Amino acid sequence: MSTPSKELVRDLAAHVDPWSTAPFDSPTVQTLQRLVPQLTAHQRIWLSGYLAGSVAAAVAVPAAPTAASTPASDPIVTVLFGSQSGNCERLAAQVGEALSKRGVPHVVLDMLDCRKSHLQEARNLLVVVSTHGEGEPPDRAAALHELLHSRKAPPLKHLKYSVLALGDTSYERFCETGKQFDARLAALGAEQLHARVDCDVDYEHNAREWIDAVVAKLASEHAAVPAQLHTASEPTLAPVATAYTRKNPFLAPVLVNQRLTTRDSEKDVRHIELSLEGSGIHYEPGDAIGVVVRNPVDRVDALLATLPYGPETPISHEGSQQPLREVLHSCDIGLVTRTFADKYFERIGQPERAASINVAARVQLSELLREHPPQALGAEDFVRLLRPLAPRLYSIASSARATPDEVHLTVGLVHFELNGTGHFGVASKQFAEMEGDDAVAPIYLHRNPNFRLPTDPDLPIVMIGPGTGVAPFRGFIAEREAQSARGKNWLFFGERHFRTDFLYQAEWLDYRKRGVLHRIELAFSRDQKDKIYVQHRMREHGRELYDWLQQGAHVYVCGDAQHMASDVQDALLQILQEHGGHSAERAAEELLELQRVRRYQRDVY
Ligand code: NAP
């Protein structure tokens, strides 16, 4: 046998991917592959020291089986998450950490990567899943949801499970996906380990309780680490690593607040630039910024006028006594939810009236209170019925490499008429009014690991983002230019009118001229008699789009979840059928596979 030449060995070494043997699952490899090249030499040395130190600390603990700390070959617990914006993924990771601490062998799995065999082999299943739109599962949960509800679903008599459901009580079908998983697992014979917990937008407290409860139960039955290693007071969850959160936001100075649409446009869309200087916030393209919202004074005053309590009435709120007026600034006092209506009428002793409230007709809270005053209900009890005002998430429209210490957002001012009265979206109005030298925005970083550029910068990308859905693609293009990425970039953008609503027109044309943006397709829906949307342009260029897919393109969709996202998906399926010669079924499988390998990613809501 001849020995390979030095050149061949060098050649092979250059082509052997060191990550191929890394002891991580593929999402973790992708995260590391993204992170490591961004670190300076100094940061890498610090990190390796930190990791070595933490391993040393771990081995100093009396010898204990360590199956839980690495994906076990025979995990006792399978933590399954179905995440859209990353919250369920983060919670699943926290469950994993808590199980590790208690020495319980486990594996954390994205629903998109979950096959039938995983369910057949699992013994204890912890499901963390959110619900979207009108009761839909997250994109990455759809295939498993369908499998479980089909005739191909496996019998699950061997399985114990519990579900943590995330949702939003302002939707009729609150936590619907979590409820469906719960019911379906039970119908397939699985035994409930712990009752399902449904969480509203302010999910942290309930989620923490569920995690503590399920982990304690599993640890008492299956812990591989001797129980005496853990004190009763040890917190199950690791402390939050990021400095700024929704409860402790960074006050980012507003550098630019510029209208992108013309004065005579029907829409008011703003380009906002915020300073991150001194915050230590490091974001990646695809991430979002959470903006902590506060009700404006006129909205709080309007509500107070309908209440029998004085504005200074003391309320115990988040550990201190605060005047009612102040507390109402941070409560959801806009539209009535089903949950609120049911609880409110029960508390004022008129439960039969709840059914008369049609929340789908967008009933304002002040309107309801005027007609049905909260007699015999104390101020504090009334406040307890309100939800905290949820922060708003905006996709980041910049690249930290291109504009360090800044983050840019694209904010559409929400305005709607209700019974002849004009209403504004609290968050977007807050932004629209942020002008002047002292203006600051209370923000925090919201990571979105499911919306990421390809790790290989040579791969082409296709970006479909009508309206403000174009925001993350401004960040993507800036990043690709800053990376000197050689992959081609193709943008599909749509809005109502070319003249008034072409968001970032000058920038796109400049990118195009400089060869950074290779193609741009435009769909101005109302510039002609018949509507033209981005999916029409996709179909027109279906052949080339298919060719780009064959070249390994990653496809991204951002914007409206209600109609656009599914219409665009239909167009993609049609292109796969027409130009790939596939049956409808095969095209659906292809698209699912693209999603699985993170080549088809959506940020839609
Ligand atoms: P939009 O309402 O989505 O309108 C943009 C363009 O899309 C218009 O030309 C509109 O045409 C067209 N359109 C309407 N229905 C469509 C469909 N089924 N398929 C394809 N195109 C369609 O724009 P927007 O006001 O900027 O709102 C964007 C959406 O994205 C909102 O639903 C919002 O919730 C979401 N959003 C996302 C982000 C983000 O950063 N990720 C930020 C804000 C908002 P016509 O109006 O003429 O029908």
589 lines ligand 1 (CB under 6 A): no
266 lines ligand 1 (CB under 6 A): no
471 lines ligand 1 (CB under 6 A): yes
- Confidence at residue 431, expressed as pLDDT on a 0 to 100 scale: 87
Tokens read off for 193 = 């380990």
Q: What is the pLDDT of residues 320-333, one digit of tens each?
A: 999 999 999 999 99
**Do residues 197 and 124 both lie within one domain?**
yes
**Do residues 284 and 312 both lie within one domain?**
no
Q: What is the mean pLDDT of residues 574-579?
A: 98
The enclosing domain of 188 has a CATH number of: 3.40.50.360
Burial letters 15-29, b for 16+ CB under 10 A, else e: eeeeeeeeeeeebeb
Q: Is residue 504 part of a domain?
A: yes
| Structural domain that includes position 302 | 297-388
Q: Is residue 367 part of a domain?
A: yes
Q: Which residue has the higher pLDDT, 374 or 237?
A: 374
136 secondary structure, DSSP code: B
Ligand 1 center to 170 CA (angstroms): 21
Residue nearest to atom 18 of ligand 1 (CA): 564
Q: Which of 193, 176, 183, 70 is nearest to 122 (CA)?
A: 193
Q: What is the mean pLDDT of residues 416-443?
A: 86
Burial letters 414-426, b for 16+ CB under 10 A, else e: eeeeeeeeebbbb
- Confidence at residue 21, expressed as pLDDT on a 0 to 100 scale: 54
| Cα separation, 417 vs 415, whole angstroms | 7
**Do residues 117 and 202 both lie within one domain?**
yes
- Confidence at residue 228, expressed as pLDDT on a 0 to 100 scale: 36
- Confidence at residue 605, expressed as pLDDT on a 0 to 100 scale: 83
CB 452 within 8 A of CB 33: no
| Cα separation, 600 vs 416, whole angstroms | 33
Q: Is residue 123 part of a domain?
A: yes
Nearest atom, ligand 1, residue 531 CA:
47
Q: Amino acid letter at 19?
A: W
Q: Is residue 8 part of a domain?
A: no
Return all residues near 297 (Cβ < 8 A) that are at least 6 apart: none
Q: Is residue 581 part of a domain?
A: yes
Q: Crossing angle for the helix pair 542-550 and 564-580, nearest 10 degrees?
A: 80
- Strands 415-418 and 269-275 turn out to be unpaired
Tokens read off for 132 = 């979207």
pLDDT at 468 over 70: yes
Q: Is 221 exposed, middle or buried (0-12, 13-18, 19+ CB in 10 A)?
A: exposed
Q: Which residue has the higher pLDDT, 67 or 563?
A: 563
Q: What is the pLDDT of residues 286-316, one digit of tens each?
A: 999 999 999 999 999 999 999 999 999 999 9
Nearest atom, ligand 1, residue 535 CA:
20
Quote the mean pLDDT of the chain.
87
Q: What is the pLDDT of residues 198-210, one digit of tens each?
A: 999 889 999 999 9
475 lines ligand 1 (CB under 6 A): no
Residue nearest to atom 36 of ligand 1 (CA): 559
388, 406, 423: which is the final residue of a domain?
Answer: 388
| Cα separation, 407 vs 252, whole angstroms | 9
**Do residues 465 and 412 both lie within one domain?**
no
pLDDT at 92 over 50: yes
Q: Is residue 5 part of a domain?
A: no
The enclosing domain of 543 has a CATH number of: 3.40.50.80
Q: What is the pLDDT of residues 127-170, one digit of tens each?
A: 999 998 889 999 899 999 999 999 989 999 999 999 999 999 88
Q: What is the pLDDT of residues 556-573, one digit of tens each?
A: 999 999 999 999 999 999
- Confidence at residue 46, expressed as pLDDT on a 0 to 100 scale: 57
**Do residues 171 and 83 both lie within one domain?**
yes
388, 419, 437: which is the final residue of a domain?
Answer: 388
Ligand 1 center to 562 CA (angstroms): 9
Return all residues near 511 (Cβ < 8 A) that are at least 6 apart: 477, 481, 517
- Confidence at residue 51, expressed as pLDDT on a 0 to 100 scale: 65
Q: Name the domain count of the chain.
A: 4
Q: Is residue 33 part of a domain?
A: no
Return all residues near 351 (Cβ < 8 A) that are at least 6 apart: 342, 345
**Do residues 572 and 551 both lie within one domain?**
yes
pTM of whole model > 0.85? no
**Do residues 157 and 109 both lie within one domain?**
yes
Q: Which of 478, 508, 516, 481 is nearest to 492 (CA)?
A: 508
Percent of the chain predicted with pLDDT > 90:
73
Helix intervals (H) in 315-468? 324-329, 338-347, 365-371, 379-384, 426-432
Q: Is residue 60 part of a domain?
A: no
Q: Which of 470, 500, 560, 602 to mutate to test the pocket of ligand 1 (most atoms within 8 A of CB)?
A: 560
Ligand 1 center to 58 CA (angstroms): 50
- Strands 406-412 and 269-275 turn out to be antiparallel
- Confidence at residue 170, expressed as pLDDT on a 0 to 100 scale: 82
Return all residues near 229 (Cβ < 8 A) that are at least 6 apart: 61, 62, 64, 103
**Do residues 274 and 143 both lie within one domain?**
no
The enclosing domain of 374 has a CATH number of: 1.20.990.10
Q: Which residue has the higher pLDDT, 43 or 500?
A: 500
Can you spell out the DSSP letters for 260-287?
Answer: -S-TTSS--EEEEEEE-TTT-----TT-
Q: Which of 265, 266, 396, 468 to mutate to test the pocket of ligand 1 (most atoms within 8 A of CB)?
A: 468
412 lines ligand 1 (CB under 6 A): yes
**Do residues 572 and 507 both lie within one domain?**
yes
564 lines ligand 1 (CB under 6 A): yes
pLDDT at 4 over 60: no
Ligand 1 center to 470 CA (angstroms): 10
Q: Which of 173, 149, 150, 177 is nearest to 165 (CA)?
A: 177
**Do residues 108 and 148 both lie within one domain?**
yes
**Do residues 430 and 465 both lie within one domain?**
no
- Confidence at residue 227, expressed as pLDDT on a 0 to 100 scale: 39
Question: Where is average pLDDT lowest: 39-48, 117-126, 566-575?
Answer: 39-48
**Do residues 107 and 167 both lie within one domain?**
yes
Residue nearest to atom 6 of ligand 1 (CA): 495
Confidence of residue 451 (pLDDT cuts 50, 70, 90): very high
